[in-house]
Amino acid sequence: MPAKPDPARWCLGVIGGSGLYDLSLIEDAQEIAVSSAFGAPSGPVTIGTIAGVRCVFLPRHGAGHRLPPEAIPHRANIDVLKRCGVTDVVAISAIGSLREDFAPGSFVAVDQFIDRTHGRAQSFFGSGLVAHVSMADPTCPRLSALAAEAARDAGATVHGGGCYLAMQGPQFSTRAESRMYRQWGADVIGMTALPEARLAREAELPYALLGMVTDYDSWREGDHVEVAQVLQVMAANAALARATVARLAAMLPASRDPSPIDRALDGAIMTAPAQRDLQAVAMLDAVAGRVLR
């Protein structure tokens, strides 16, 4: 059975991306394997506290970065966080920059997305249980602002806002693609934030994405991204990312005011109760139990 969250108390879910697998700052840490009706998550979760705030950490790519972007079990990951009583999710990701002023080493609090992925499970809902949630503003303004402030306090250069182009991968962009994405208005590029952000919204979890810029992708003449460069910047920023998470936990208000995203499923279920697939309803006991019971 999923844990019943207390909406007045913070429970911070942290999805660690490339370069953020060590969260030794978690006190009283316990590693727990949590099962999901949507398959195995990327790995066990680590549950504990940071600055007195309950935190649940999940490595997006699994231990040792064993999962490529297209194989990340996003549905299971979000479902597991919901089952653990998480109220808000902050995701840390390595990203490429599509803007000259978003230099490697800086952080970006992403607030918009363009989806270029394919073949990934995009929703918890489907035949037998249809739902449509709003994604007009895909990240949580409150949590994003707090994450950006925490990163600045930790010593990072932070850009407050940016459009993330989600590419399929696992290869990096061609120069033509990279330049096209700039023309589309994308500011940064990555391979993992979608469908993660979509699924967090369906699970009524406020979501913030703090991207660590590692490179300039391939739009600049004579410049291109390589893994060695990405790893070098990630290693330099890993301590800063951990400090940001610690600072974020410490600066959260003592009580958590409700977020509109807590009720994202209000009015979103289209399928009439008598026509709902009972197996789908059972699978969604954590994600959508509030509106399906």
Q: Which residues are catalytic?
A: 215, 217
Is residue 207 classed as helix, strand or coil in its secondary structure? strand
Query: Tell me, what DSSP letter sits at residue 112?
Result: E
Sign of CA dihedral 197, 115, 142, 249: positive
User: Tokens 């653990």 appear where?
Assistant: 84
Beta-bridged to residue 2, according to DSSP, are none
Distance of CA 142 to the CA centre of its chain: 15
| Longest distance between any two alpha carbons in the chain, whole Å | 61
Which amino acid does the sequence have at 199? L
Instruction: Decide if 61 contacts 19 (C-beta within 8 A).
Output: no
Which amino acid does the sequence have at 145? A
How many Å apart are CA 144 and CA 188, to the nearest integer? 16
Is residue 188 classed as helix, strand or coil in its secondary structure? strand
Nearest Cα residue to 2 out of 89, 63, 78: 78
How many Å apart are CA 8 and CA 24, to the nearest integer? 27
Alpha-carbon dihedral 222, 223, 224, 226, rounded to 10 degrees: 120
Nearest Cα residue to 61 out of 279, 178, 234: 234
Task: Read off the tokens for 96.
Answer: 């490429």
Task: Read off the tokens for 119.
Answer: 């073949």
